[in-house]
Structure 1
Amino acid sequence: MKKIHLLILRSFIRPFAVTFGIVMFVLLMLFLFKYIDDLIGKGFEWYTILQLMMYASATNVAMALPLSVLLSSIMTYGSLGENYELVAIKAAGISLRRAMYPMIVVVAILSIAAFIFSDNMLPVANRKYYSLLYDVRQQKSASLLPEGVFSNSFPDYSIRVSRKDRDGQTLHGVMIYTKNQADNNLNVLLAKEGLMYRTPDNQFLILKLKDGVRYDETTGDKGLEDRQRFTRFRFKETEQIFDLSFMKLHRTDENLFRQAVQMMDLKQLKYFGDSTKRQADSALSVNYKLISPYIKYCTIPKKSAAGIKYVAFNKKNSLDGLSMNQKLAAISNASNEVRSLQDIIKNRADFYKETFKSLRRFDVEYQKKFTLSAACIALFLIGAPLGAIIRKGGLGMPVVVSVIFFLIYYIISTIGEKSVKDGDISPFVGMWIAILVLTPIGLFLSYKAANDSALFDMEVYKKFFNRLVRRNEQ
């Protein structure tokens, strides 16, 4: 029995590792294609891009792990069925359920590990990933001196290069304006050609210019403010040094991203969710206090003995007995009160809308911590019996079947999550609906596989339809 368990485990571990690596690679390529414009041409160090890819890979585990479990389980039991090893196992008196026992243990361990990862490691990876991605997207381009246009990359200069050689360092037709508001930007340098390179520590950009002239216009000495001085310097060779400190990747404090729900563990989600609920509940007692000063027209004043003449209330005309000016004043006051009430109610409605939207986000992320583990088990219950039924190993039929079922799982879970965020259904139902749909399918397939059902045998369906045709002909 132990040898059979070891055989099944060895048959599972290798395809699981391979499929997990392939899925992670594909998802990483999708990430690179999505953010390629934010990464290229900004002069990042290689380790910065490697860090970003590593954090992005950690965030993709939630999608890669269930798909890998599904695909590798189909491949494992499909390969055993294709090589008639499942037949030998059943001939030895071992049922399919007992043969699945070691795999159930392994998948249960993977599910526990997935829960620990999503609760402890994933929030940290998300915080580092989104903070680094934010800084990367805010980074300026490293293409400092494009051809034919004035570049304002450097704070105090405007530089134009007419043409560059293929090496990207040899420049022709260099023009440098020095930005000085006091001198009305009257300093300009022209050079026929130059060489551009950086210092070894990437702190400065050096332009080594040749055959040029520099023009300076300055105001005169004291007492001669109306006169200006024009100076011209000709040079055979000179150097201009520009500070590149603004090109460094400036990291944002990661603690600024802690309030996002993706960066929280279960305890933090529960704490902030409960505090948001208390905030919403406490706001209910404030509503009446805000509205009550504006409903004084619904109250009846007490009669006084000061000789004031009171008019009986007329239901058909509530303003009966008032002069024209009093009617206009009453209508104006009433319309002002109504507008004020509308503004208050709109503000309170917007407040409650955002508050409950935040509550739903907390609930969605809270349920996600558990659905990843449950998805691994549910998809294994589908993959293992499917492999035993179709009896095909390798990357052919198993890939097609696993992709179909994973798309069903992903589409249902995405629709459920969106419905929860829109407030259409409860968080538990929306986040678990994909598991609730797929688990009965997995149990049904397990039952069929245990009874050697020919569920995917096309010959059985051909015979069935041939019988129907013969009966109709008769």
Structure 2
Amino acid sequence: MKKIHLLILKAFIRPFIVTFFIVMFVLLMLFLFKYIDDLIGKGFEWYVILELLAYQSAVQISMAMPLSMLLSSIMTFGNLGESYELVAIKAAGISLRKAMTPLFILVGLFSGGAFLFSDYILPVVNLKMGALLYDVRIKQADFLIKPGIFNNTIPGYSIRAKGKSKDGKILYDLMIYDHKSSNTASNVLLAKEGYIYNSPDNNTMILKLKDGVRYEDSRARNAKVYNPRQQFTRFYFDETEQKFDMSAFQMKRTDENLFKSHHMMLNLKQLRQYTDSNAVQMDSLRRTVFKEVQSYYYHFNDYYKAKDTLLSPSVPVVTYQHGFIEAIPNDKRTMAINSAMNQVRYIKDVLNIKANEDTFYRDKDIRYNIEFQRKFTLAVSCLLLFCIGAPLGAIIRKGGLGLPVVMAIIFFLIYHIISTVSEKSAKEGNIDTFWGMWMAIFTLSPLAVFLAYKAATDSALFDIEQYRLKAEKAITWIKNRFGARSRKVVQARKSLHDDYTLSS
């Protein structure tokens, strides 16, 4: 390998690593901002948060890899162009295409690794990430007592304390409303002091109360008969314990098998299997619809055919002025109309139910196909954005994090917007899933070819005079082409006119 190749590889790998981690950090911050309400105040252990961030980092590779590829390629060739190293390379007789050959191989390896990652690792990561995020979001916030404020997080209880110790374990002047048995607070407990601690399995919170009284409303339990002598019951105590069920506040891990059939948790082989089974279910559903409906159709159809065959040619054809209903006797018309309406309603209900089921299976088929195509578009997008960024950096000849970042964001936003809009259209069934997933790549591929041509020929990208000259040349060619054709048409018409004049 030549020293020039080593120079370009070293110049590319360092910006790629830096930009990759910067993009990954930004995407993780966006993830935390999105789910900050589901993470704060729930008492998660540090390893749970770290596990969630690790899974999210792996999921975000599908977006971080193409963006860092684009940004690092612009920075690399921008720095080489700004320091006139590209000029020296071309002066040594090495074209830009030959100098970029090791980078193409390296980016191809990265793209192949991205494809293998999206097929083998990403489905497993999505499965674990989805199960963990589901458990994190359904977990309730930790039980927290604030002085002077009622806490209603424990179902069936309202707890208030006027004060608490610095460590939060001892509460003073407690008031506890128990309304588990009814909507009204028929059971009230007052205590001067309470000590909080958890059971060994952390599923129960125990509140040891001292020097208090408990009030119970007897009417809430007994019959609805007013008894003025037995309205309230008081229990005085020196020390007692109140237990609260805290199992809802504990994080429980959901079985991952419940999420395995989701389209984002499947690899290529599994996607093919699920797509085939879904197609079999769709075909079975449509055949079932035909069998359920055809009995009503063929019943009347066979009846009419039988009536036609029984009629002899000598029997005159009867015409009805107000429709076929005139053929039904008057005493049976109401029954026949009601029967027909009931059958129409039944057929309509069957078709509506089957249409909803068919829509469900069709949406599943679309999502399976979209995820199947996504496995390939991730790898191809890395190649495409590198082919855009490398010649663009050689053209603008600006390094650092200024103009390259702006250009990278612009082109990546164009790619991302086209990809998002086309994918949404594919999910809605407006376009085919293949075109929906590959639309951005097919749209930007001519731009990559154009930039590569500009970089190879050392021509300016924003040379307005050059574009004006080419436009004038194209307009002149069109005028000459169509002008010559129009002159030929005029001459032909004139010759025909002269021949017609002579003959007349």
Give the TM-score, by structure 2 length.
0.81
Compared CA separation, residues 201 and 357, structure 1 to 2 (3 A): closer
1:410 aligns with 2:401: no
Cα distance in 2 for residues equivalent to 1:463 and 1:435: 28
1:213 aligns with 2:216: no
* Residues 419 and 425 in structure 1, CA contact (< 8 A), matched pair in contact too: yes
- Give the secondary-structure state (helix, strand or coil) at the position aligned to 1:233: strand
Letter in 1 for 2:354: R
Cα distance in 1 for residues equivalent to 2:417 and 2:181: 59
Cα distance in 1 for residues equivalent to 2:428 and 2:120: 28
Cα distance in 2 for residues equivalent to 1:294 and 1:18: 70
The residue aligned with 2:488 is none
- Give the secondary-structure state (helix, strand or coil) at the position aligned to 2:336: helix
The residue aligned with 1:120 is 120
Compared CA separation, residues 318 and 445, structure 1 to 2 (3 A): same
- Give the secondary-structure state (helix, strand or coil) at the position aligned to 2:43: coil
The residue aligned with 1:294 is 296
Of 367-376 and 409-418, more deviation after overlay is shown by 409-418
281, 284, 292: which one aligns with 1:282:
284
The 5 A counterparts of 1:1-150 are: 2-146=2-146, 150=150
Compared CA separation, residues 14 and 333, structure 1 to 2 (3 A): same
The residue aligned with 2:476 is none
* Residues 280 and 352 in structure 1, CA contact (< 8 A), matched pair in contact too: yes
The 5 A counterparts of 1:440-459 are: 440-456=446-462
Cα distance in 2 for residues equivalent to 1:148 and 1:347: 55
Give the Å deviation of 1:215: 4.9
Letter in 2 for 1:314: T
Compared CA separation, residues 324 and 146, structure 1 to 2 (3 A): farther
The 5 A counterparts of 1:187-198 are: 188-196=188-196
Cα distance in 1 for residues equivalent to 2:28 and 2:209: 44
Give the Å deviation of 1:367: 0.1
Gaps spanning 5+ residues in structure 2: where? 220-226, 469-504
Compared CA separation, residues 97 and 203, structure 1 to 2 (3 A): same
Give the Å deviation of 1:166: 8.3
Cα distance in 1 for residues equivalent to 2:446 and 2:326: 71
436, 442, 445: which one aligns with 1:436:
442
Give the Å deviation of 1:142: 0.4
Of 197-206 and 117-126, more deviation after overlay is shown by 197-206
- Give the secondary-structure state (helix, strand or coil) at the position aligned to 2:324: coil
Letter in 2 for 1:266: L
The residue aligned with 1:314 is 319
Compared CA separation, residues 301 and 115, structure 1 to 2 (3 A): closer
Cα distance in 1 for residues equivalent to 2:201 and 2:141: 18
Gaps spanning 5+ residues in structure 1: where? 220-225, 466-474
* Residues 208 and 241 in structure 2, CA contact (< 8 A), matched pair in contact too: yes
- Give the secondary-structure state (helix, strand or coil) at the position aligned to 1:320: helix
> Percentage identity across aligned positions?
51
Give the TM-score, by structure 1 length.
0.86
Of 163-172 and 26-35, more deviation after overlay is shown by 163-172
The residue aligned with 1:468 is none
The 5 A counterparts of 1:189-268 are: 189-196=189-196, 205-215=205-215, 230=233, 232-235=235-238, 240=242, 242=244, 244-268=246-270
* Residues 175 and 189 in structure 2, CA contact (< 8 A), matched pair in contact too: yes
1:161 aligns with 2:167: no
Per-residue CA deviation, residues 156-181 of structure 1 (Å, 9 max, x unaligned), is: x6242143458472533312345675
Per-residue CA deviation, residues 84-129 of structure 1 (Å, 9 max, x unaligned), is: 1111111111110011111101110000000011001100110111
* Residues 189 and 215 in structure 1, CA contact (< 8 A), matched pair in contact too: yes
* Residues 217 and 231 in structure 1, CA contact (< 8 A), matched pair in contact too: no
Cα distance in 1 for residues equivalent to 2:165 and 2:397: 58
Cα distance in 1 for residues equivalent to 2:467 and 2:217: 98
Compared CA separation, residues 147 and 325, structure 1 to 2 (3 A): farther
Cα distance in 1 for residues equivalent to 2:319 and 2:181: 75
Give the Å deviation of 1:66: 0.3
Per-residue CA deviation, residues 360-409 of structure 1 (Å, 9 max, x unaligned), is: 11100000000000000000000000000000111100000010110111
Cα distance in 1 for residues equivalent to 2:339 and 2:46: 69
The residue aligned with 1:377 is 383
* Residues 143 and 154 in structure 2, CA contact (< 8 A), matched pair in contact too: no
Letter in 2 for 1:22: I
Give the Å deviation of 1:438: 1.2
Per-residue CA deviation, residues 302-323 of structure 1 (Å, 9 max, x unaligned), is: 4699xxxx99653432122443
Letter in 2 for 1:297: F
Of 1-10 and 319-328, more deviation after overlay is shown by 319-328
The 5 A counterparts of 1:318-357 are: 318-357=324-363
Cα distance in 2 for residues equivalent to 1:313 and 1:293: 28
